[in-house]
């Protein structure tokens, strides 16, 4: 299933198409500001082919609290840039050779250019954050970046041949490494969209639960592709089947928790889309 197919009706698909087009155009405009830079080509390569699920979450979260204006788009771009920066580093750490059906960034441009491009992206994110008068925008982006680094380093320090982590540790790590950016996306949408404190809190929690479910499903998809769990995040279990059963139950549980958080919001097409997006995590395995 593609993101454009989520929602179940023509009106929702049209809205999703519209938002994805707006995000793609906003990213293009942001990169165009650096067309004279040596980083422009590598940056364009880095952002191409992304699913854009995180910036899409931000726009729908903003709409869910009643905001449909252009104020949301720069933050949506910043969220996607932060994701781009993180996977550039992740691919180096994990020694990946391909992503999105093409060679990874560090294979194409080299390690030095990869590190410098990621630093350049951080500068772009800081500049975008400075456009907002609300200090919570910069704070949320910073908090997400810090938490993602903490989760990455925690996972990096684990030797699965020596130590098998518990279910609780697994959830803590993916909450930091992956779910932090989902949480930042939905919380920023609610903040910039002018949501109430209750709505901001609910959408923040929704993003966190959704991000956890999403990463669990990614690890399960690794199992389907590789015949084993390739992440170092291996749960304590005597049998692989036990691990997979635990993970499937956890994914369903966190999907349900994410949907429950949305009950605070008024019934609307955007809320329905956010509910369907939570289900999308499970449907990726079908």
Q: Which residues have CB under 8 Å from 14's CB, separation 6+?
A: none
- The pTM (predicted TM-score) of the whole model is 0.92
Domains of the chain and any CATH numbers: 3-283 (1.10.600.10)
CA distance 87 to 104: 9
Q: Print pLDDT tens along the chain (286 aa).
A: 566 666 667 777 788 899 999 999 999 999 999 999 999 999 999 999 888 999 999 999 999 998 777 799 999 999 999 999 999 998 898 888 888 788 999 999 999 999 999 999 999 999 999 999 999 999 999 999 999 999 999 988 887 777 778 888 989 999 999 999 999 999 999 999 999 999 999 999 999 999 999 999 888 887 767 655 555 555 555 556 677 788 888 899 999 999 999 999 999 889 998 998 888 866 664 4
Q: Are 55 and 185 in contact (CB under 8 A)?
A: yes
Residue with tokens 């781009």, as numbered in its chain: 84
Q: Which of 226, 282, 232, 230 is nearest to 255 (CA)?
A: 282
């Amino acid at each position: 299933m593609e993101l454009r197919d989520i929602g179940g009706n023509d009106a929702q698909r049209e809205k999703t198409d519209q938002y994805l087009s707006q995000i793609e155009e906003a990213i293009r405009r942001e990169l165009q500001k650096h067309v004279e830079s040596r980083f422009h080509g590598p940056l364009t390569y880095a952002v191409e082919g992304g699913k854009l699920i995180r910036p899409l979450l931000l726009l729908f979260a903003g709409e869910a609290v009643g905001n449909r204006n252009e104020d949301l788009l720069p933050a949506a771009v910043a969220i996607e840039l932060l994701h781009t920066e993180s996977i550039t580093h992740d691919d180096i750490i994990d020694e990946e050779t391909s992503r999105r059906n093409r060679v990874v960034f560090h294979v194409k441009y080299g390690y030095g250019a990869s590190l410098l491009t990621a630093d350049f992206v951080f500068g772009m994110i800081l500049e975008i954050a400075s456009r907002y008068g609300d200090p919570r925008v910069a704070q949320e982006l910073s908090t997400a970046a810090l938490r993602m680094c903490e989760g990455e380093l925690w996972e990096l320090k684990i030797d699965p041949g020596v130590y098998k982590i518990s279910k609780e540790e697994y959830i803590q790590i993916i909450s930091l490494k992956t779910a932090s950016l989902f949480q930042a996306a939905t919380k920023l949408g609610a903040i910039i969209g002018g949501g109430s404190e209750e709505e901001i809190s609910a959408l923040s929690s929704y993003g966190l639960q959704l991000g956890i479910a999403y990463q669990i499903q990614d690890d399960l998809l690794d199992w389907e592709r590789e015949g084993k769990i390739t992440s170092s995040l291996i749960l304590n279990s005597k049998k692989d089947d036990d691990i997979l059963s635990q993970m499937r139950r956890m994914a369903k549980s966190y999907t349900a928790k994410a949907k429950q958080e949305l009950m605070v919001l008024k019934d609307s097409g955007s809320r329905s889309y956010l509910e369907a997006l939570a289900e999308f995590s499970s449907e990726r395995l079908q």
